[in-house]
């Protein structure tokens, strides 16, 4: 079972980096999943987004897309591209996507300085 969780950035942390960052662990998992889904890195990529809903008002949306859309921001990490639509970028700017495996759970972790609170499920937040 793969789950997604959220971590709030500590207030004493340095200012967030511009854009979206992806850790090496998360990139390895994305590459593996893209290969299983038959998504070509040359054309497709990982789409990160935010949509209304969830326990705290907003929830993360993570999926694969076969190509970027016209107004997407595109972030390149080696041979992996990450697509973020303009509305979602408002909430994701400075976010770090990580992947963690523990004895209890495994999944993507969103370290988002834009989030002011999150709920226990880890996929919902408010800004």
Cα angle: 18, vertex 20, 23; to 5 degrees? 120
Q: pTM here?
A: 0.78
* CATH class label, 16-119: mainly beta
Q: Tell me the three state secondary structure of residue 13.
A: coil
Domain boundaries, the chain: 16-119
Q: Are 93 and 114 in contact (CB under 8 A)?
A: yes
**Two structure tokens written together for 40:** 């070509």
pLDDT mean by block of 10 residues, the chain; 127 residues: 45 59 96 92 92 75 93 95 95 93 87 71 52
């Amino acid at each position: 079972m793969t789950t997604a969780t959220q971590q709030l950035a500590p207030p004493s942390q340095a200012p967030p980096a511009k854009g979206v960052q992806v850790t090496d662990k998360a990139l390895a998992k994305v590459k593996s999943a893209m290969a299983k889904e038959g998504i070509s890195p040359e054309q497709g990529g990982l789409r990160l987004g935010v949509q209304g809903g969830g326990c705290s008002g907003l929830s993360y949306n993570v999926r694969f897309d076969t190509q970027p859309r016209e107004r997407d921001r595109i972030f390149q990490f080696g041979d992996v591209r990450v697509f973020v639509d303009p509305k979602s970028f408002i909430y994701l700017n400075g976010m770090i996507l990580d992947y963690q495996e523990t004895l209890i759970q495994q999944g993507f972790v969103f370290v988002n300085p834009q989030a002011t609170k999150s709920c226990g499920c880890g996929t919902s937040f408010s800004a």
